[in-house]
Structure 1
Amino acid sequence: MDQKQLHQQAAQDPEAFWGAAAKDIRWIREPTQVLDRAADQHTSPGWRWFPDGQLNTCANCVDRHVDEGHGDRTALIWDSTVAQAQRRMTYAQLLVEVNHAAHMLREEGLRKGDAVIIYMPMIPEAVVAMLACARLGAVHSVVFGGFAPAELAKRITDCAPTFIIAANCGREPKREINYLALLRTAIAQSGLTPKKKIYYFRPFGPTDLQPGEASWDELIQNHLAGRASVTVAPEPMAASDPLYLLYTSGSTGVPKGVVREHGPNAVQLRWTMQHVFGMRPGDVFFAASDIGWVVGHSFIVYGPLLSGLTTVLFEGKPTYPNAGVFWRIVRDYGVHTLYTAPTALRAVKREDPEGELIPQNAMPTLRNIFLVGERTDPDTILHFQDRLQIPLRDTFWQTETGSIVASSMAMPAGQTATTPIPGVAGLPVPGWDVVVLDETTGQPYPRPTTPGATTPVGNLAVRTPLPPGAFPTLWRNHAGYMASYFKKFPGFYDLSDAGIMDADGRISVLARTDDLINTAGHRLSTGGMEEIVAGHPAIAECAVVGIRDELKGEVPICFAVFKRVTPTAPTAPGSTAAAATDGDEEAVRVALQKKVRAEMGAFACFTHVYFVHNLPKTRSGKVLRRTLRAICNGQAYQIPPTIEDDHVLVEIETLVRRHNQGQAASKL
């Protein structure tokens, strides 16, 4: 069995396909119907998975493994390079902690259907809090730890949480972040007063409690009342009940609360871990992301635990204390699959360009590296494949989809894995009927029949109904859900990404649709140009955006980062000095312009290349192309709340301003 055959099975008979997958879930009441297509019975767009099923996600993540005799298996490994601490928890130990937390929350008044904001760093207590909410039937909304008060306040206002659970602080390599100060400001700005504010205090950081606030540990001990343990029965949940809501700014910049359901999410993630990632119970899975993002929800917490894996919870940075930290974790814990962002690997490559920190013959367990978050340039993939001698597999999906839309699946043992092609997202995953739409007609382009041919660049979309695990609505905003995702192309879910499909059915994601540029009538992919630039031996990473041009409409410009930065001259905040390099900047600039001209065409030639120390990114590793475009076009913009380092923008603004002044002076 291979990926194409599985995809065909899911397309021909989705009820049989997902009904079989649902057998791997422990149901309180097994569903008698897999897919209800009665549109008149459900809110538009009109379908429901496992409509009469009942289950509890927490029980499937923890209790069932203990009940089946695997309580001694390691459930979670916490490794914090910033706190210099590690911790292991078995499934039995995790069950005890989740019961204690659920008991405390219930005694404090948390009930089924209540909303809870969780504002914590990458610590085990955050996972326990998520599972405790799921056990009680409360709807958790995890907000990335350290989020600025204004953005956190927006989420509090929209979510209207009954409880807020937070940690006192987070840590980064060079600073400590006072979460309590940020949270208190956000609550005041929101104008809402949650019923309970419960804080977990780490061994460091602020220790003060204000009226109306309570300590997580003290409340647990108080409600245990001297007992060694307590048991809280998992709340029976309808398959369609919300498990969590997760905010995404999406393409509009306005936070949208993506809702995920208990039943479809459990079925999809358990199937995905086995088939897409090729994982087996007891394997070790390391998703180097954050629980504040969808990758953390699906592939740090719920996916691995539903599947009886060991999940690695990493608090740190990919290059701290050095660029070998990922490989150290893989070696020490026997990791079978690493899941990370291309930007993380590019940062590792930039700090360790020759791969000297990759331990030779010391990571025998590592079978695959999967990538998520940004289109991966072939140069980065080949760099690590050559050194590790294992496949690097791209994945394409979104917060809204909840699971992977396209990839080269690793498949279970005994089945045929899909061979990845660098620069290509992969084949559609079973359940996802992906098409490339003509933006003018709204109709799918036919798949080419000639090997090597592709469709024209178009809008990537998915035929409905969407598979289990995809979001059924936005929190308290179903009208916005329909308008944002289903209005533009009726009958399809709009992925808002531009791409192509080849004769084999493989998907290449080229850019967000608003990142495509039109130069003198040529529709250009910024992702394609970035791939060309990243292939230059001097370049570590890059971003291409379009700027206005009176003659051509738009023209591309490039921001590039050299592979090596002089260690004795670190970038200071606001520095305008170009990144140090072994070569000459002007020579590389000319070489890049010639390279793009030769490989894409003269019409795609850059007007300018800026060499910078770092690209502006979100904390999840996505490059802020919209912000770069605004700076280059002289437009007003807001600093995105998810930005990793806003000092990067100071350097870029200064370079762009000086270049524009020089251009203006040359015309005088």
Structure 2
Amino acid sequence: MVEATDDTRAEDLVFDPPAEFAANAVAKGSLYADAAQDRLGFWADQARSLLHWHRPFTQTLDWSEAPFAKWFADGKLNVAYNCLDRHVLAGNGDRVALLWEGEPGDSRRLTYAELTAEVKRAANLLTALGIRQGDRVAIYLPMIPEAIIAMLAVARIGAVHSVVFGGFSAESLRARIDDAEAKLVITADGGYRRGRVSPLKPAVDAALESGDSTVEHVLVVQRAWPDDEELAWTDGRDLWWHEEIAQVDWEHEAQGFDAENPLYILYTSGTTGKPKGILHTSGGYLTHVAYTHRNVFDLHPETDVYWSTADVGWVTGHSYVVYGPLANGATEVIYEGTPDTPRPGRWWEIVQKYGVTILYAAPTAIRSFMKAGREIPQQSDLSSLRLLGSVGEPINPEAWLWYREVIGGNRTPIVDTWWQTETGGIMISPLPGVTAAKPGSAQVPLPGITVEVVDDKGRPLGNDESGLLAIPEPWPGMLRGIWGDPQRFIDTYWSKFPARPTGPVYFAGDGARRDHDGDIWLLGRVDDVMNVSGHRLSTAEIESCLVSHPWVAEAAVVGAHDETTGQAVVAFVIAKARHADEANAEGATNELRAHVASSIGAIARPRELFIVNELPKTRSGKIMRRLLRDAAEGRPLGDTTTLTDATVMQAIADRLKN
């Protein structure tokens, strides 16, 4: 294994695509030239070639009311038809669409013909319950087939879904239901998580207990509820999915809707504390996710078995579990549970069981596997894998190299993807059959996408310079607004930089730099970039440096107020199990602080460094650095309801007080 001690050295490590992979790759280097020659024409070609249009469009982009874009606006299509019916009509009805694995070990297999029939019937059920075009439906389900069926059924009738992650509290659910003014909630009695039943219907009951909600019905999937416990039920409002769906017809004809018909609202955190309802529409979004899924993941739908490990409650689940893969006719794995239930190697057993060829996962998960040790994945046959992907946050070079060596057998390309809930689909990524990959770098914008690294005034920066990530040209998958708050949409995303002759510039909220080759390295959110004695330091860069130390499995770095330097670096580190003794010995924290100083510079040396047993993480695996900043600066802890285990954060706070 080649080791990288920091990002600078990682810039000099490159991995060319295997010759056989490159020869058979879906995406060719000519895509860049095609897009550069006529960007809008390129996107029009993608929309026409990848999708079925009930009424063809004649205008690609209307940017006359920027930043409110309209893509393919005079065209009509049906999102669910594109994901289902057309594959059946093309003779692929017997192809497996979903290979579902429940956490307890139960499984289900749905072909495209079977999935299409289920979605048609669900669409008829929604219509029978009074759901019409434009109505909002909240979906609060575990990772079961009904979650995907529900999303596609809502899309099929032109309604708007708002999927809420099943780990969110009743209070968070209530806020999202109220903001979207949902008429219907689709939930389950419960789901399995870490060997236990996670109650969902009770959370819906609590969210609606005030009685002043717009919700008319709650549709409940029977999944997991103890036989000896009574499930609360409100007659007239609550309905069993299996009972209601048995009463409706199997046939449903999909009609075309305007390309700008709203498809979904997905809530994401905002700086004000109020979640932002990110709005995506149909034609441009589906074009973007189908194009990126096909080319970034080198999808060969006849032979590949694709697995994105994301939950449908997050945007990765929307774009690269539901809409992108199914629009491309992919066969995909869906898993309900956690990576380590009931055994630490559960993911790798699933890869072996289904012959997964493409795996898309988060760096947090990859680092947790590193912490547990390579002997666990090595117990399973992973030889079917031919492509690996990373999503959700910048991946440090050592995790990238471990991923490639241990999971990919030192042969698979890795696509390190950058994008956001707001962008809808992948924006920066290697093309696996074209790009010589660098560990830890998202590298280049995809063909058809324009991305720049700019200074605080919006002026483009050159190579070997750090700045802010900006998108100066509209793209098909872009958000169309914040639900119910157009001014917040403008203020949040389009007011950071001066407008250009081509229109306003989108601010991604992330820092980035270009290396000497011009490749892009993400530095994390701007509020995760510290200013220490006038020097901009990336928390992601320091975290990468710490994880490169042989003792360290995972690290989180925050900036804390310092009277002398403005901000100071505070680090929290989890040690690898086999190095626990060294990491907990006297002087260990000083060695790790010195490692940072020698690798990056004395200015980056952590003022404080703590060896901890665990880091505060949400149920999706994201580290809550905001809470670590609160603790480091001695403030009361903020809301911890989204954490997997709130006691982790309290233990860290108590440690700092002492």
Residue 589 of structure 1 pairs with residue 589 of structure 2: yes
Q: Which residue of 1 aligns with 2:434?
A: 417
Q: Which residue of 2 aligns with 1:69?
A: 91
Distance apart, 1:116 and its partner CA: 0.2
Name the CA distance, whole Å, in 2 between partners of 1:220 and 1:526: 50
Name the CA distance, whole Å, in 2 between partners of 1:190 and 1:267: 40
Q: Which residue of 1 aligns with 2:615?
A: 615
Code of the aligned partner of 2:215: P
Judge conservation of contact 1:153–1:189 (CA < 8 Å) in 2: no
Distance apart, 1:503 and its partner CA: 4.1
Q: Which residue of 2 aligns with 1:573?
A: none
Name the CA distance, whole Å, in 1 between partners of 2:527 and 2:85: 45
- Helix, strand or coil for the counterpart of 1:92? helix
Q: Which residue of 1 aligns with 2:17?
A: none
2:266 pairs with one of 246, 262, 283: 246
Judge conservation of contact 2:262–2:279 (CA < 8 Å) in 1: yes
Name the CA distance, whole Å, in 2 between partners of 1:202 and 1:472: 35
Kindly provide the CA deviation profile for residues 595-636 of structure 1, in whole angstroms up to 9, marking residues without a partner as x: 111122112211111111111112222211111111111223
Name the CA distance, whole Å, in 1 between partners of 2:241 and 2:338: 27
Residue 625 of structure 1 pairs with residue 625 of structure 2: yes
After superposition, the Cα gap between the structure-2 partners of 1:621 and 1:28, relative to the gap in structure 1 and judged at 3 Å, is: same
Q: Which residue of 2 aligns with 1:371?
A: 390
Name the CA distance, whole Å, in 2 between partners of 1:498 and 1:623: 18
Kindly provide the CA deviation profile for residues 217-269 of structure 1, in whole angstroms up to 9, marking residues without a partner as x: 11112335xxxxx2111132100111111111144432111111111111111
Code of the aligned partner of 2:43: W
Distance apart, 1:8 and its partner CA: 4.4
Counting only pairs closer than 5 Å after superposition, residues 370-519 of structure 1 correspond to structure 2 as: 370-387=389-406, 388-389=409-410, 390-410=412-432, 416-439=433-456, 441-445=457-461, 447-448=462-463, 454-455=464-465, 457-465=466-474, 467-489=475-497, 490=499, 491-519=504-532
- Helix, strand or coil for the counterpart of 2:581? coil
Distance apart, 1:425 and its partner CA: 1.7
After superposition, the Cα gap between the structure-2 partners of 1:88 and 1:651, relative to the gap in structure 1 and judged at 3 Å, is: same
- Helix, strand or coil for the counterpart of 1:140? strand
TM-score, length basis structure 2: 0.91
1:306 pairs with one of 297, 306, 327: 327
- Helix, strand or coil for the counterpart of 1:591? helix
Code of the aligned partner of 1:494: F
Identity of aligned residues (%): 39
Name the CA distance, whole Å, in 2 between partners of 1:657 and 1:407: 42
Name the CA distance, whole Å, in 2 between partners of 1:536 and 1:3: 38
Residue 256 of structure 1 pairs with residue 276 of structure 2: yes
Code of the aligned partner of 1:375: P
- Helix, strand or coil for the counterpart of 1:384? helix
Code of the aligned partner of 1:128: I
Paired residues in the alignment total: 619
Name the CA distance, whole Å, in 2 between partners of 1:241 and 1:199: 27
Q: Which residue of 2 aligns with 1:79?
A: 101
Q: Which residue of 1 aligns with 2:31?
A: 6
Q: Which residue of 2 aligns with 1:191?
A: 212
Residue 121 of structure 1 pairs with residue 129 of structure 2: no
TM-score, length basis structure 1: 0.89
Name the CA distance, whole Å, in 1 between partners of 2:404 and 2:397: 10
After superposition, the Cα gap between the structure-2 partners of 1:291 and 1:324, relative to the gap in structure 1 and judged at 3 Å, is: same
After superposition, the Cα gap between the structure-2 partners of 1:404 and 1:140, relative to the gap in structure 1 and judged at 3 Å, is: same
2:575 pairs with one of 549, 562, 565: 562
Judge conservation of contact 1:78–1:123 (CA < 8 Å) in 2: yes
Distance apart, 1:99 and its partner CA: 1.2
After superposition, the Cα gap between the structure-2 partners of 1:581 and 1:12, relative to the gap in structure 1 and judged at 3 Å, is: farther
Pick which of 314-323 and 278-287 moved more: 314-323
Uncovered stretches (5+) of structure 1, i.e. residues with no partner? 225-229, 411-415, 449-453, 566-578, 659-668
Name the CA distance, whole Å, in 2 between partners of 1:127 and 1:586: 52
Code of the aligned partner of 1:482: I
Uncovered stretches (5+) of structure 2, i.e. residues with no partner? 1-24
Kindly provide the CA deviation profile for residues 279-337 of structure 1, in whole angstroms up to 9, marking residues without a partner as x: 12232110011000000000111111000001211111122223322221122112111
Query: CA RMSD, aligned part only?
Result: 1.9
- Helix, strand or coil for the counterpart of 1:223? coil
Name the CA distance, whole Å, in 2 between partners of 1:165 and 1:342: 31
Name the CA distance, whole Å, in 1 between partners of 2:110 and 2:123: 17
Judge conservation of contact 2:297–2:358 (CA < 8 Å) in 1: yes
Name the CA distance, whole Å, in 2 between partners of 1:527 and 1:252: 24
Q: Which residue of 2 aligns with 1:35?
A: 61
Distance apart, 1:5 and its partner CA: 4.8
Judge conservation of contact 1:562–1:581 (CA < 8 Å) in 2: no
Name the CA distance, whole Å, in 2 between partners of 1:641 and 1:396: 27
Distance apart, 1:555 and its partner CA: 0.8
Judge conservation of contact 2:419–2:426 (CA < 8 Å) in 1: yes
Name the CA distance, whole Å, in 2 between partners of 1:586 and 1:545: 24
Distance apart, 1:180 and its partner CA: 1.5
Judge conservation of contact 2:296–2:415 (CA < 8 Å) in 1: no
Kindly provide the CA deviation profile for residues 400-441 of structure 1, in whole angstroms up to 9, marking residues without a partner as x: 00111111122xxxxx421221121221112321111111x3
- Helix, strand or coil for the counterpart of 1:118? strand
Judge conservation of contact 1:401–1:471 (CA < 8 Å) in 2: yes
Distance apart, 1:356 and its partner CA: 4.3
Name the CA distance, whole Å, in 2 between partners of 1:203 and 1:555: 48
Counting only pairs closer than 5 Å after superposition, residues 542-561 of structure 1 correspond to structure 2 as: 542-561=555-574
- Helix, strand or coil for the counterpart of 1:596? helix
Name the CA distance, whole Å, in 1 between partners of 2:426 and 2:91: 31
Higher RCO (Cα < 8 Å, 6 or more apart): 2
Name the CA distance, whole Å, in 2 between partners of 1:394 and 1:313: 21
2:233 pairs with one of 198, 209, 213: 209
Distance apart, 1:394 and its partner CA: 1.2
Code of the aligned partner of 1:460: L
Distance apart, 1:126 and its partner CA: 0.8
Name the CA distance, whole Å, in 1 between partners of 2:386 and 2:187: 36
After superposition, the Cα gap between the structure-2 partners of 1:188 and 1:337, relative to the gap in structure 1 and judged at 3 Å, is: same
